[in-house]
Amino acid sequence: MSRKVHITIQAGKISEQTVEIAKDATYEDLLNTLNINQETVLVLNGGNAVPLDGAVNSDKLTILKVVTGG
C-alpha cells in the first residue's frame, strides 16, 4: 500500500510536489525517496519540527532546507 503526501520545499525559493510513499514510511524514508540528505533539512508538520525516525502521519508537510552556502 502506498499513499500520497503533498510537500512544500522551502529553499530560499519555494517549490511544491506530491510524492508517493509506503503506508508505514518514516520521514527519513520520505527524504530518501526525494533524494534529500537528512542532515540538510528540517521537516515541519503544521509548522512544528518532527523527529525523522517517526512515521509520517500527515498528508501535508514542509521541508525547510537549512544548509546552504554563505
Nearest to 55 by CA among 36, 20, 27: 27
Binding residue (CB under 8 A) for other proteins from 12, 16, 23, 35: 12
Is 12 an interacting residue with respect to ligand SF4 (CB under 6 A)?
no
Residue 40 three-state SS: helix
Stretch that binds other proteins, among 1-9, 14-22, 61-69 (CB under 8 A): 61-69
Alpha carbon of 1 to those of 29, 33, 41: distances in Å? 15, 16, 27
Binding residue (CB under 8 A) for other proteins from 18, 35, 39, 46: 39
The binding site for ligand SF4 (CB under 6 A) comprises 69-70
